[in-house]
Chain A
Amino acid sequence: MVLRRTTGAGRTHHAGPLSYAVLVVAALVSLFPLYWTLVAASTDAHRVVSSPPPLVPGANLFKNLCYVWQNAGGRGMGVALLNSTLVAGSVTLGTVVFSVLAGFAFAKLRFAGRGLLMGLVVATLAVPAQLSVVPLFILMKQLGWGNHLQALIMPTLVTAFGVFFMRQYLVQALPTELLEAARSDGANSLRVVWHVVLPIARPAMAVLGMLTFVQSWNDFLWPIIAMNGSTNPTVQVALAGLGTGWSTDWSVIMAGALIGTLPLLLVFVLFGRQIVGGITQGAVKG
């Protein structure tokens, strides 16, 4: 990448002790609330709010996790985890596939109205979904989708950001000669997509997929409206229920927060580097 060749900013300077100190404090501040979630989840109703607060894990972790696993959100955290996985997985799959197709068309194919349509995509980048929740709620009611997962999947199945992101990537990464060669060999459009575009788009697809998964997993407003009082909650809906009166035991609430956070933290530990790269790429090029 271009970034690596240029000797950027302070690259030549070594960090001084003060710089290290500030960075370590920042890292600790970032991590402490997560550690504290674990500690709090392993205590009991009494100990969690005692002074001085507990700073090392207690013995109740498993008990609290089991309780939340069986009881949170009506049918337990297991159902919520499964629902969140289904929703975030479908949304990710849809976003990646549709974004590659549209991004490829905008990047490399000629067709009437291309500029206008691409302008529309860019214009919709800034329109927040939050402004449409009331009609969406009515729409889902009329479709009979209330309480069903497709109410959460369909509205976010593709994003303007995804299309824009894939277009920016494919404009640079996909050689036009390669497309022409495949074309003159008699390959039709679908074969070109399958054999030429997809292999080249793969790294960007991975990045877009992870960003989309995180976003969908953490989505909050629309799920609590669509799944209000539902027996079919996502993790965030179950957590909202936990926090607003379902339990007064903070150690149990924190056990729920822990279960809801762990899957994504795991994804981050495994793919952290790619996610970091994806975020910075999207921002610098966007």
Chain B
Amino acid sequence: MATPPDARHRQTWRSRLHRWDSKGSPYAFVAPFFLLFAAFGLFPLLYTGWLSLHQVSLYNVNQARWVGFQNYLDLFTGAPSRFFWNALRNTITLGTLSTVPQLAIAIGLAHLLNYRLRGRGFLRTALLAPYATSVAAATLVFALIFSPEGGMANWVIHLFGFGPVNWEAGKWTSQFAIATIVTWRWTGYNALIYLAAMQAVPGELYEAAAIDGAGRLRQFWHVTVPALRPTILFTVVISTIGATQLFGEPFLFGGQSGHQGGADNQYETLGVLMYDQGFHDSMLGRASAVAWTMFALLLLLGLANALIARRLRRAQ
């Protein structure tokens, strides 16, 4: 029996629609991400590289003058190189001061949180409260705590018989204070990540270790830490990326002293230097060169990390 032409027509139309739908819809679903990423992620990143080869003023962004690698040469060897190398050193020392204690304390806390506990929910939420505090709010509070005039930190060390410290003025004291802010904000977050990984370790491993006569500490070193290796690597990568871009804390810590990153640039990081060059001194080209240097630094760190991860995997 022949179907009427009208119905047949409708059938092919519908099946064609269906085909378009199943072929086209995946692309429609991923399109928003890729369009937005292309416009506001990839294009700006490449454009930063292009701008870093130009001289551009903040107040006249349409007139860029080609200068080749002059911005990089200036940064590495010219007049501003003093600030660049200083900022690079500060980024490394501040990064180390804030990342290493943060992760070490976090893994210790996670180990304790993994015991049978009363009030476990409260403890977890309390440890995560700093994560809910913004960089700006946290830095303002700690700037007051480390204030040379009537700050709480000086009052506490006075109780132990030490004289007042001008935290903000010294290179190491200011970096210690800033590292304290970073550590305060992120330790609980990392502790909870470690805790989740610890809970995924099979209990039989601990039973076996216990039968072999390993105490709690040996179990921690010989069972927990090896099992956590991928998680540790993950947190190291995340915190290293964060440390490379450290900005809000050194930007706000000086407060009213005027200059961001300290009067003697004693805690100026690469992030602050980029802001300073671009949006304070209005040299957008040089700021872009700082940004791409940071990008190169991140790629190097990523490469080093991949190599270490591979070596660890081989060693196992």
Residues on A lying within 8 angstroms of B by beta carbon are 2-3, 6-15, 19-20, 22-24, 26-27, 29-31, 33-34, 36-37, 40, 48-53, 98-99, 101-102, 104-106, 109-111, 114, 117, 120-121, 124, 126-139, 141-142, 154-158, 160, 163, 188-190, 193, 214, 217-218, 220-221, 225, 228, 235-236, 239-240, 242-245, 248, 250, 253-254, 256-257, 260-261, 264-265, 267-269, 272-273, 275-276, 279-281, 283-284, 286
Contact = CB atoms under 8 A, between A and B. Distances in A.
Nearest to B133: A261
Interface stretch (B2-10, B90-98, B135-143): B135-143
Nearest to A40: B144
A242 B203 contact: no
24 contacts: A2-B200, A6-B203, A8-B114, A20-B117, A33-B138, A111-B26, A114-B26, A121-B33, A126-B302, A128-B241, A130-B247, A132-B47, A135-B45, A142-B61, A158-B33, A189-B29, A240-B252, A244-B252, A244-B255, A248-B256, A260-B137, A276-B192, A279-B128, A279-B193
Residue of B121, B196, B274, B279 with most chain A CB atoms under a 10 A cut-off: B196
B196 A135 contact: no
Interface residues of B, number: 116
List the 6 closest pairs (A to B, CB-CB), nearest first.
A49-B150, A280-B196, A132-B44, A7-B203, A8-B199, A15-B115
Contact of B40 (A155, A244, A272): A155
Contact of B129 (A24, A34, A131, A154): A34
B37 A236 contact: no
A132 B142 CA distance: 29
B61 A138 contact: yes
Given A158-B32, A264-B133, A265-B132, A33 B45 contact: no
Contacts of B36: 98, 154-155, 157-158
A279 B10 CA distance: 50
B89 interface: no
A117 B22 CA distance: 18
Nearest to B294: A131
Interface in B169-226: 184, 187-189, 192-193, 195-203, 206, 216, 223-224
Contacts of A142: 61
Interface of B: 17-18, 21-23, 25-30, 32-34, 36-37, 39-45, 47-48, 51, 61, 105, 108-109, 111-117, 121-145, 147, 149-152, 155, 158, 184, 187-189, 192-193, 195-203, 206, 216, 223-224, 231, 234-235, 237, 241, 245, 247-248, 251-252, 255-256, 258, 260, 271, 274-275, 278-279, 284, 287-288, 291-292, 294-295, 298, 302
A131 B292 contact: yes
A230 to B, nearest CB: 13
A261 B131 CA distance: 11
Nearest to B260: A244
Contacts of A104: 29
Contact of A30 (B130, B245, B298): B130
Contacts of A130: 245, 247, 271, 291, 294
A34 B113 CA distance: 22
Nearest to B116: A14
A132 B29 contact: no
Given A31-B129, A261-B133, A286-B234, A135 B44 contact: yes
A14 B192 CA distance: 19
Given A33-B184, A155-B40, A276-B128, A228 B30 contact: no
B135 to A, nearest CB: 5
B135 A220 contact: yes
Nearest to B200: A3
A9 B222 CA distance: 12
Contacts of B122: 27
A110 B30 CA distance: 12
Nearest to B289: A134
Contacts of B192: 276, 279-280
Contacts of B152: 36, 53
Given A141-B61, A221-B247, A27 B126 contact: yes
A254 B141 contact: yes
A132 B224 CA distance: 40
B136 A260 contact: yes
Given A6-B203, A105-B26, A283 B193 contact: yes
B255 to A, nearest CB: 5
A136 B224 CA distance: 44
Contacts of B145: 33, 36
Contacts of B288: 134-135
A257 B255 CA distance: 14
Residue of A101, A268, A283 with most chain B CB atoms under a 10 A cut-off: A283
B216 A13 contact: yes
A277 to B, nearest CB: 9
A127 to B, nearest CB: 7
Given A14-B115, A30-B129, A134 B141 contact: no
A105 B145 CA distance: 50
B154 to A, nearest CB: 8
A23 B113 contact: yes
Given A12-B203, A109-B25, A188-B18, A49 B135 contact: no
Contacts of A280: 192-193, 195-196
Contact of B130 (A33, A98, A244): A33
Nearest to A55: B152
A138 B203 contact: no
A217 B137 CA distance: 12
